[in-house]
A and B are shown apart, each in its own frame.
Chain A
Amino acid sequence: MKENLSREEFLKGIWRDNPVFAQVLGMCPMLAVTNSAINAVAMGMATFFVLVGSSFLVSTFRHLIPKQVRISCFIIIIATFVTIADYTLLALVPKVHKELGAFIPLIVANCLILGRQEAFASRYPTKLAVMDALGMASGFLLALFSLGAVREILGDGALFGFNLFGANFEPWVIMILPPGGFLTLGVILLFFNWFKTKKDEFLEDVAAAQRSEG
């Protein structure tokens, strides 16, 4: 039972409550840095690190933090992890860091992270909180990657810098520019919701069929 619960917390972030496709959170990095797959993945990893780290600390110390100053404490914790991620990226992958630029410090302001602390980590035991953070962060990473991959494939004819279509590919310049982010996200959301509606209809049909049988 306990195992099922934490697996449930993990899985919900990836699909049912996906932070981007279902909750539409964290749009700023989502649209701004997904012009190539590598940027998107680096951003996703940084957010992953910050979210899991903060959720772990917040949940562990949740009884020690007075609720009047909880938001300030969350922000201090998140900001610390963001700074660590910032310097680590700068030292390890300076090229990617240059591309992401101001958007790494801005992870502090990603509503997904603060939202998870307030809504989940500060109320549940550490194990569940970490599972929830892992799920949400993986969902976010997945969303960033799918957007970045589509935009790089169409906009550059490549994936992770690896050329897919040969030299004569005509790049869709708009996909690398900001409007491409909005267009791609819109199309992905369309398919996500279409799929969800279809699935719900299907489940309803099944339920109805079972009722009539029983």
Chain B
Amino acid sequence: MNAPAATANPSSLRLVLTLAIAGLLSGIAIIGIYETTLPTITANKARELREAVLKVLPGVTQMQALVHRDGELVVVAEPAKDEPVIYGGHDAQGEFVGYAVPAAGPGFQDTIALLYGYRPGDREVVGMEILESRETPGLGDKIYKDADFVAEFSALRVDPEIVAVKKGTKTGPNQVDAITGATISAKAVVRIINEAHTEWSERLPAPGSEPMLEAPDSPVDEGAQ
């Protein structure tokens, strides 16, 4: 042992001081890295969200965040933490196209988080994108890897509710062909959308009176490239 044994019994003050200084330096380093990386991280998240919204709402070029406060949908720039938020999608002329609704629920393995596009005028789901899932590779992960299954959600009536049926037996516009071998995951996706739809449908304003686009050419554009 040739190292730290220099002081046999240091005073308590020295111990406390050492820890305090170490903590202080560590805090400064952490704040430094947080401040440096924060802009990039925020931009990444915004870009990811924007890409997902554009994917589930075909024809949309601009979006704004909407929250439900005091009985109506209001546009917010920065939703409060843990506040349920949906996104209004508008086309290049600023006309309202539809809502993108984030939803989550239990899948076969773990929570599935997804985003679906909804056109209140047609009462149709027009797109679906899985944001997060840990479904079984090769089976359950077909809910986002199987293009046929994802395409099932491109013109899907929500009335009376979406139903997953055995592959090849689809008869109505509100039915989805489930995935052979991954029925549970496919049904979970349908259930998550149904639940989110029931939750939001009473909060949405009548078709035609959706919130106007407040900041045309939304500033999220930067960093999109």
Contacts and interface: CB of A to CB of B under 8 A. Distances in A.
A adjacent to B, CB under 8 Å: yes
Interface in B1-57: 1-7, 10, 14-15, 18-19, 22-23, 25-26, 29-30, 33-34, 36-37, 40-41, 44-45, 48
A64 B25 CA distance: 15
A121 to B, nearest CB: 9
Contacts of B33: 83-84, 87-88
B3 A84 contact: no
Contact of B26 (A76, A94, A156): A76
A69 B4 CA distance: 11
A21 to B, nearest CB: 27
A176 B6 contact: no
Contacts of A98: 132
Given A88-B37, A173-B137, A176-B137, A79 B44 contact: no
Interface string A113-153: 00000000011100000000000000000000000000000
A176 B23 CA distance: 40
Given A63-B4, A66-B14, A123-B3, A83 B30 contact: yes
Interface string A65-76: 111111011001
Contact of A65 (B1, B18, B30, B48): B18
What range describes how many residues of B lie at the interface?
Answer: 20 to 34
B129 to A, nearest CB: 15
A90 interface: yes
Contacts of A80: 25-26, 29-30
Q: State the main secondary structure of chain A at its contact with B.
A: helix
Nearest to A88: B37
Contacts of A64: 18
B195 to A, nearest CB: 24
Given A91-B44, A94-B48, 12 more contacts: A65-B18, A66-B14, A68-B10, A69-B19, A77-B26, A84-B29, A84-B30, A88-B37, A90-B44, A124-B3, A173-B137, A173-B139
30 contacts: A62-B3, A63-B6, A66-B4, A66-B15, A66-B18, A69-B18, A69-B19, A72-B22, A73-B22, A76-B19, A76-B22, A77-B22, A77-B26, A83-B30, A84-B33, A87-B33, A87-B37, A87-B41, A90-B37, A91-B37, A91-B40, A91-B44, A98-B132, A123-B3, A124-B3, A171-B137, A171-B138, A173-B136, A173-B139, A177-B136
